[in-house]
Amino acid sequence: MFEKYIFFLKNLLSKIGVTGGVSNFISETISFATLIFASILIYYLLTFIIRKTVYVLISRSESQRDDILIKNKVFKKLCMIIPAYIIRTFAATALPSYPMLSSIIVMVTKVYEVFVYSRVLDAILSTLNDIYDTYEISKSKPIKGFIQVLKIIIYIVCFLLIIAILTQKQLSNIFIGLGTLSAVLMLVFKDPILGFVGGLQLTVNDMLRIGDWIVMEKSKADGEVLEIGLTTVKVQNWDKTITTIPTYSLISDSFTNWRGMQNSGGRRIARSFVIDIDTIKFCTPEMLERYKKFQLVKQYIIDKEKEIEEYNKLNSIDDSNLVNGRRQTNIGIFRAYLNEYLAQSPYINKDMTFMVRQLSPTEYGIPLQIYAFSANKEWVKYENIQSDIFDHVFAVVTMFDLKIYQKPSSNTLEKVNSNIDIEVMED
């Protein structure tokens, strides 16, 4: 085809007085430029046809998954192969007098084709990953790490093929030569290899999923997992910042995954407050009568009194002294009140553990801990439920003749000192 075209150009040039080597150079330059122009024109024509046919069909399709092909430009990258193929096929006939130049052009187009093929495979793998991400299983079994490994392998093979083309050697010989560079390659690809191993363990052992809430103090990460990649895991913290954690660190270091809480029936409340020991006492009959007016513990006090009375009679206890026998205490009744308060709260999951318990005494007093599970696991609502419970505790504690210990403030100490000064002046 190009032989006739070059012959036509030479005849045309000879008519205007251009002959010899100059005619040959000009005609073959025009021939090669025509080849380049034709290949580019065919590329744009193909992309135009694809936009008007394939893209239209995809846009009209009800499925959203085929739109991912357009997003990753799979068809556009496929079209990029055509110009290189045309130039490589016709370069020798377009430049018959310059075999060295045509062989260089063929070599360059081969390199370009290899690179384009790798880009096409990259786009196809990205498409497969994006389609997989549309399924629910992708959150528990992400494949992005495996896709990234395949992409690395593709680009390594692409690099080796390019070297084979440029050096005109067999690919097998290049692989043999790379054996001596294995230590260097291991060093260069250390992070991807460790990341792949870490990602594999995370996936196989179901240690991490997209959407999990994790806390990793070492990396200052506290939020939701956005992405599990080959070398990194992206976590969006609750303050909307993004923390990037090396994938292998999640295997080598410890982290907390709150998925168990999210999948359970509630979110744990485990908060304590300290009762001033000086306010703890045996209940007198007057105190018991007053406490019986509190509906939540009325029946408890009555039942407990019967039990204690029977015990003391059975053991011939002299109840003229409060120290003898069994007696109810204000802190015991207060614990019973809080237990009943939690039992009647609609915001506490009754199917999970809930209790009010004493912790070990400290130099500040006796800690009472509320241990329960909020039925609502959403963070804001959970915090409101927890706050409402303790708002009530702080307000009601004094009605049981108890006080919550707190360190005296500077204002309190000033008042105490002023009272002492007044007493001294009066004396």
Q: What is the pLDDT of residue 204?
A: 63
Domain hosting 293: range is 284-326
Amino acid present at 116:
V
In a domain, 313, yes or no: yes
Average pLDDT over residues 253-257: 85
One domain for residues 307 and 356: no
Residue 165's pLDDT is 82
Residue 309 sits in the same domain as residue 418: no
Q: Containing H/E element for 26?
A: helix 20-52
The predicted pLDDT at position 76 comes to 83
> C-alpha angle 178/182/183, rounded to 5°?
145
Confidence of residue 290 (pLDDT cuts 50, 70, 90): very high
Q: What is the CATH number of the domain that holds 392?
A: 3.30.70.100
- pLDDT digits 0-9 by tens, 306-362: 998 888 888 888 777 777 888 899 999 999 999 999 999 999 998 888 899 999 999
**Is 206 a domain residue?**
no
Question: Does the residue 211 lie in any domain?
Answer: no
Q: How much is the pLDDT for 388?
A: 94
Residue 424 domain flag: yes
Lowest mean pLDDT among 263-267, 298-302, 410-414: 410-414
Q: Could you tell me the pLDDT band of residue 419, with boundaries at 50, 70 and 90?
A: low
Q: How far apart are CA 217 and CA 107, in angstroms?
A: 54
Answer with the one of 197, 217, 239 that is the final residue of a domain. Answer: 197
Q: In this predicted structure, what is the pLDDT of residue 277? A: 93
Q: Which pLDDT score is estimated for 313?
A: 87
- State whether 83 and 148 are in the same domain: yes
Asked whether residue 127 falls in the same domain as residue 154, the answer is yes
According to the model, what pLDDT value does residue 249 have? 83
Q: What is the pLDDT of residue 10?
A: 64
pLDDT in tens, 260-280: 776 777 888 999 999 999 999
| Count of other CB atoms within 10 angstroms of residue 1 | 9
Check residue 231 and report its DSSP letter.
Answer: S
Pairs from 314-323 (Cβ < 8 Å, separation ≥ 24): 322/282
341 and 362 together in one domain: yes
Quote the Cα angle for 220-223-225, to 5°: 110
- Residue with the larger pLDDT of the pair 388 and 427: 388
At 20 the pLDDT is 65
Considering the domain boundaries, does residue 407 fall inside one? Answer: yes
Residues 419 and 271 reside in one and the same domain = yes
Full-prediction pTM beyond 0.85? no
Read off the pLDDT band of 423 (50, 70, 90). Answer: low
SS (H, E, C) 371-414: EEEECCCCHHHHHHHHHHHHHHHHHHHHHHCCCECCCCCHHHHH
Q: Is residue 242 part of a domain?
A: no
Whether the Cβ atoms of residue 139 and residue 92 lie closer than 8 Å to each other: no
Q: Per the domain annotation, does 78 fall within a domain? A: yes
Rounded to whole angstroms, the Cα distance separating 89 from 31 reads: 14
Q: pLDDT digit string (tens) for 189-215?
A: 667 777 777 776 776 667 788 888 889
- The larger pLDDT score, comparing residue 216 to residue 71, is at 216
pLDDT digits (tens, 9 = 90+) for 84-105: 888 888 887 777 777 888 888 8
Look at phi and psi of residue 401 and say left if phi exceeds 0, alpha if psi is from -120 to 50, else beta. Answer: left
- The last residue of one of the domains, among 197, 229, 255, is 197
Q: What is the token pair recorded at 125? A: 């793998």
For residues 61 and 210, the model is more confident at 210
Considering the domain architecture, whether residues 154 and 302 belong to the same structural domain is answered as no
Tell me: do 18 and 95 sit in the same domain: yes
How many folded domains does the chain comprise?
3
- Is residue 63 domain-resident? yes
| Helices 20-52 & 81-94 angle (0-180, nearest 10) | 160
Nearest partner of 37 among 86, 3, 72, judged by Cα: 86
20-41 residue pLDDT tens: 666 777 777 887 788 888 888 9
